[in-house]
């Protein structure tokens, strides 16, 4: 069980038997009870006042005539709705901001009221090592793209705590549907630097056989569905996969990652609604990093982030500090338990900040200040925070830091150089792995491609780098 007391907001699953907590006749509006536990020292949001389902009718006498008055009504879906006699619109500005669960302060100390998860030393150091490896790979591969050695790249600066914390809280058997900024999840599961490099170079070692853009990773071995460029397509796919797991009674769940921008896409609604109504074992994990490419969140929505939407879909929901690897780990572990044991979806919103550009095609300094980026890197970086925790425990020092960074950089450069010397994947692989036997239409397309290349041989480098 989770020891840091992070209660996930739960919608009532049987409307006739469970009631909302609310206050009546005041400026406060009906709202859900939040996940904060007794150790958070947070003021109680609302006073409980349960509606009485047994008192459904009363009689009012007017000039000796008794009128029957209903106090509630039963509507389709077995929903009992109480009646009121005053117009009272619920306005979002009157609602409290959904809080974020946190364990570590920015300096790595355990915050007052929280409980240290006391993960083993080797586990914590491994978490830090993977975060450092991811950051090193990002820097080297980003520079390689700028040098023209690879065509495209996306970094994960500032979000390593989300990757590692969530991956460590899942089972390796759980199926991952990622967006395109979750390389650390795959790295935690064992995907090697050489495999990352081979994919970005689209060479013969690329598991996708050169048919994907760089950073569009996938792995059958590590239960990581291949990333797709179109935004949000993975959400309905993940919902369907989790429904299949449910029907097959498998001891596994689906974890689906997406960004705050993806939550504005049309596929978001049917995915969450389907998962909720079918009661699917899935964890929807939103990385709210503040930007959908260049669009800040203030221009994306008017509600309280993404977490506020979860309850509306009828699913268990929580918000977490995404820069706190321990908080993310504990929340993900508990969310997985709920999804599997209770066979229902869970929504996690992890609050973080995208330190880098959206991709190598973007210049984020055109829509945000350099000082803002620098401030986040210095004051609220997840890797820096975890290092502070390890140093306080006596597990880490400057000497060990220097040794690790040197080793990781050498390993990344070795993988990069090896990938660069390998030939590209065979062109004929463009037409494989879809049909057992190629249909005539595909054979015609393959023939047409070969004829085109033979006609313009100087424009193509077959067997080398494109």
What is the pairing mode between strands 72-75 and 65-70?
Answer: unpaired
Determine, yes or no, domain membership for 258.
yes
Determine, yes or no, domain membership for 21.
no
Tokens 């990622």, residue located: 178
Determine, yes or no, domain membership for 47.
no
Q: How far apart are CA 305 and CA 318, in angstroms?
A: 11
Residue 401: both structure tokens together: 């830091």
243 and 315 housed in the same domain: yes
pLDDT band at 46 (very low <50, low <70, confident <90, very high): very low
The helix/strand/coil state of 372 is helix
Among 268, 276, 256, 130, which residue's Cα sits nearest to residue 191? Answer: 130
pLDDT computed for residue 114 by the predictor: 98
Determine, yes or no, domain membership for 438.
yes
382 and 450 housed in the same domain: no
- pLDDT tens digits, 92-103: 889 999 999 999
For residue 461, pLDDT over 80 is answered with no
399 and 270 housed in the same domain: yes
Who's near 116: CB < 8 A, 6+ residues apart? 103, 110, 326
- pLDDT tens digits, 250-305: 999 999 999 999 999 999 999 999 999 999 999 999 999 999 999 999 999 999 99
For residue 466, pLDDT over 80 is answered with no
Determine, yes or no, domain membership for 338.
yes
Question: Burial level of 277, CB count in 10 A (0-12/13-18/19+)?
Answer: exposed
Q: How far apart are CA 227 and CA 333, in angstroms?
A: 24
Cβ atoms 69, 58 nearer than 8 A: yes
Average pLDDT for 36-65: 45
340 and 373 housed in the same domain: yes
Strand partners, 257: 285
- pLDDT tens digits, 309-323: 999 999 999 999 999
Total count of domains within the chain? 2
- Residue 379: CATH number of its domain: 3.40.50.970
243 and 375 housed in the same domain: yes
Cβ atoms 217, 196 nearer than 8 A: yes
Q: How far apart are CA 343 and CA 89, in angstroms?
A: 34
Determine, yes or no, domain membership for 296.
yes
225 and 316 housed in the same domain: yes
Tokens 């994907």, residue located: 212
Determine, yes or no, domain membership for 376.
yes
Cβ atoms 308, 98 nearer than 8 A: yes
Question: Burial level of 114, CB count in 10 A (0-12/13-18/19+)?
Answer: buried
Which 8-state DSSP code applies to residue 332? Answer: H
Question: Burial level of 183, CB count in 10 A (0-12/13-18/19+)?
Answer: buried
- pLDDT tens digits, 414-442: 999 999 999 998 888 999 998 999 999 99
337 and 455 housed in the same domain: no
Among 330, 325, 319, 320, which residue's Cα sits nearest to residue 384? Answer: 325
pLDDT computed for residue 337 by the predictor: 98
401 and 281 housed in the same domain: yes
Cα distances (Å, whole numbers) of residue 216 to 173, 206, 213, 434: 21, 11, 6, 18
291 and 221 housed in the same domain: yes
350 and 395 housed in the same domain: yes
Determine, yes or no, domain membership for 83.
no
452 and 334 housed in the same domain: no
Instruction: Show the domain range for 321.
Output: 121-421
448 and 407 housed in the same domain: no
């Amino acid at each position: 069980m989770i020891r840091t007391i992070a209660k996930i907001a739960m919608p009532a699953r049987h409307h006739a038997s469970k009631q909302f907590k609310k206050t009546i006749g005041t400026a406060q509006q009906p709202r859900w009870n939040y996940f904060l536990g007794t150790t958070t020292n947070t003021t109680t949001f609302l006073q409980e006042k349960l509606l009485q389902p047994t008192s459904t009718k009363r009689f009012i006498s007017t000039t000796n005539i008794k009128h029957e008055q209903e106090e509630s009504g039963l509507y389709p879906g077995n929903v009992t709705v109480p009646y009121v006699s005053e117009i009272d619109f619920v306005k979002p500005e009157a609602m409290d901001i959904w809080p974020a669960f946190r364990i570590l302060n920015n300096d790595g100390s355990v915050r007052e009221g929280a409980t240290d998860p006391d993960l083993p030393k080797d586990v914590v150091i491994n978490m830090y090592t993977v975060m450092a490896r991811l950051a090193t790979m990002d820097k080297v591969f980003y520079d390689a793209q700028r040098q023209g050695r690879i065509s495209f790249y996306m970094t994960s600066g500032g979000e390593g705590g989300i990757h590692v914390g969530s991956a460590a809280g899942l089972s390796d058997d759980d199926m991952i549907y990622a967006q395109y900024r979750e390389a650390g999840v795959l790295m935690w599961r064992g995907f090697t630097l050489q495999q990352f490099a081979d994919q970005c170079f689209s060479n013969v070692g690329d598991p996708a056989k050169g048919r994907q853009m760089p950073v569009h990773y996938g792995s059958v071995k590590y239960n990581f569905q291949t990333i797709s460029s179109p935004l949000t397509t993975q959400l309905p796919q993940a919902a369907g996969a989790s429904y299949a797991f449910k029907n097959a009674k498998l001891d596994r769940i689906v974890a689906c990652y997406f960004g705050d921008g993806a939550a504005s896409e049309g596929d978001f609604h049917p995915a969450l609604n389907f998962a909720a109504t079918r009661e699917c074992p899935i964890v929807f994990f939103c990385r709210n990093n503040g930007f959908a490419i260049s669009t800040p969140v203030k221009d994306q929505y008017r509600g309280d982030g993404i977490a506020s939407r979860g309850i509306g879909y009828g699913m268990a929901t929580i918000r977490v500090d995404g820069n706190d690897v321990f908080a993310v780990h504990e929340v993900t572990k508990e969310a997985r338990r709920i999804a599997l044991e209770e066979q229902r979806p869970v929504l996690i919103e992890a609050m973080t900040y995208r330190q880098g550009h959206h991709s190598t095609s973007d210049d984020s300094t055109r829509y945000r200040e350099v000082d803002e980026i620098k401030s986040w890197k210095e004051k609220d970086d997840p890797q820096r925070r975890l290092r502070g925790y390890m140093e306080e425990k006596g597990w880490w020092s400057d000497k060990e830091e220097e040794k690790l960074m040197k080793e990781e950089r050498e390993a990344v450069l070795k993988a990069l150089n090896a990938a660069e010397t390998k030939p590209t994947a065979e062109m004929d692989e463009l037409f494989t792995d879809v049909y057992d036997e190629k249909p005539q239409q595909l054979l015609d397309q393959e023939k047409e491609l070969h004829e085109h290349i033979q006609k313009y041989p100087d424009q193509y480098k077959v067997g080398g780098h494109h």
